Amino acid sequence: MKIALDAMGGDYAPEQIIAGAIDAARSFDCEIVLVGDQKQIYEQLNKVSDWNQLKISVHHATEVIEMGEHPVAAVRKKKDSSLVVTAQLVKSGECDAAISAGSTGAAVTSALFILGRIVGIDRPTIATPIPTGHSVTLLMDSGANVDCKPKHLVQGAIMGSIYSECVFGIKKPRVGLLNIGEESTKGNEQVQGTYPLLQNMRTINFKGNAEGRDITNGRFDVVVCDGFVGNVVLKFAEGLAKTLLKLMRETIIKGGIMAKIGALLLSPTLKKFARKIDYAEYGGAPLLGVDGCYIIAHGSSNAKAIKSAIGVACEYVKQDVVNRIRENIQKEEMPTDDKEK
């Protein structure tokens, strides 16, 4: 298995990206192709004495797409950027999966332009794992599509269910539709139009509406919404987690000697808690619906997160998720625009 990794994308590229690739090469049975400026890449690789004994190679790319650039314009203009070349390596068949921690918009654009969509999928969807007390809830969509029709949410539900089963090993994942209440009559026009369609799906285990609290309480394995709502939910969750940890540390510091002793005793438990809410534990979010494996890593990914993203990509390819999605989409009668009206 061969993984193309954008070495220049992300807040801590290329140092942390390459460090994660080295860790992954020691842990997973795969070859990693680092894409980007070869001079900078080799400078980082040469800090590790035995890197050339690992399954790591370099593919030179002369350009970098910056976070602030317009995604479509950047992908069209910078054809030799590390992000674009990473996707091209998958399209050509040289690599089995692509990973980037660069601009999410540019990553989605390059995947759509270069890999194309699976037949039957109108809009690919970013599937983000949200940690719960027991496992994870897959949030569909977390930012790829801000305006969706009911058929797009249905397609997301099918893809999320397949991914949850293949990668997380959940049999008959429980699918919920994010809404402001449990009743089927609640919600806006989009949600009310989606509910009956999900009820009639043969390949998913639809369990009704999910409220905001259900994303983290483990009641559902997959929660479906449009990318606008999903991205707000995701960013709020990230901000809340950081704030809670900050308040906890401040309370301990200001709490005196007894608070510090208590924190010391609870240290192992607190570390386990921190791991559960750390995005680095879950790697990247797959862009489901494109005709190939494309993993979008967090822009602030460190070496640990990149290693995890490579692990996700390996499992994605191993479980043949793309073909599983293709097969299940063909089994369902997808709603048309006429039916939605």
Give yes or no: residues 104 and 138 share one domain: no
Residue 273 above 70 pLDDT? Answer: no
Give yes or no: residues 140 and 263 share one domain: yes
Residue 244 in any domain: the answer is: yes
Give yes or no: residues 145 and 205 share one domain: yes
Give the tens place of pLDDT for each residue, 74-117: 999 999 999 999 999 999 999 999 999 999 999 999 999 999 99
Residue 335 in any domain: the answer is: no
3-state helix, strand, coil in the chain (%, to 5): 50, 15, 35
Give the tens place of pLDDT for each residue, 175-190: 999 999 999 889 999 9
pTM of the model: 0.86
- The last residue of one of the domains, among 261, 279, 297, is 279
Residue 81 in any domain: the answer is: yes
- CATH number of the domain that residue 317 is part of: 3.40.718.10
Contact 155, 123 (CB under 8 A): yes
Provide the domain limits for residue 42: 1-121+289-321
Give the tens place of pLDDT for each residue, 122-159: 999 999 988 886 788 999 988 888 889 999 999 999 99
Residue 334 in any domain: the answer is: no
Phi, psi values for residue 300, rounded to 5°: -100, 25
Give yes or no: residues 112 and 131 share one domain: no
Residue 72 in any domain: the answer is: yes
Give yes or no: residues 218 and 303 share one domain: no
Give yes or no: residues 141 and 262 share one domain: yes
- The last residue of one of the domains, among 253, 279, 305, is 279
Residue 94 in any domain: the answer is: yes
Which amino acid, residue 181? G
Mean pLDDT of the chain: 89
Band the pLDDT of 15: cuts 50, 70, 90.
very high
Residue with more model confidence, 319 or 239: 319
Q: What percent of the chain has pLDDT over 90?
A: 67
d(CA 195, CA 185): 9
Give the tens place of pLDDT for each residue, 279-337: 556 678 999 999 999 999 988 899 999 999 999 999 999 999 999 999 888 887 666 65
Type and span of the H or E element at 198: helix 189-199
Give yes or no: residues 299 and 226 share one domain: no
Residue 313 in any domain: the answer is: yes
Residue 274 above 70 pLDDT? Answer: no
Type and span of the H or E element at 174: strand 174-178
Give yes or no: residues 107 and 172 share one domain: no
Band the pLDDT of 269: cuts 50, 70, 90.
low
Give yes or no: residues 185 and 273 share one domain: yes
pLDDT of 283: 73
Give yes or no: residues 105 and 211 share one domain: no
Residue with more model confidence, 256 or 17: 17
Question: Which CA distances in Å does 52 have to 42, 94, 216?
Answer: 11, 20, 43
Contact 109, 71 (CB under 8 A): yes
Give yes or no: residues 11 and 113 share one domain: yes
Residue 71 in any domain: the answer is: yes
pLDDT of 125: 93
pLDDT of 258: 67
Q: How many domains does the chain have?
A: 2
Give yes or no: residues 159 and 205 share one domain: yes
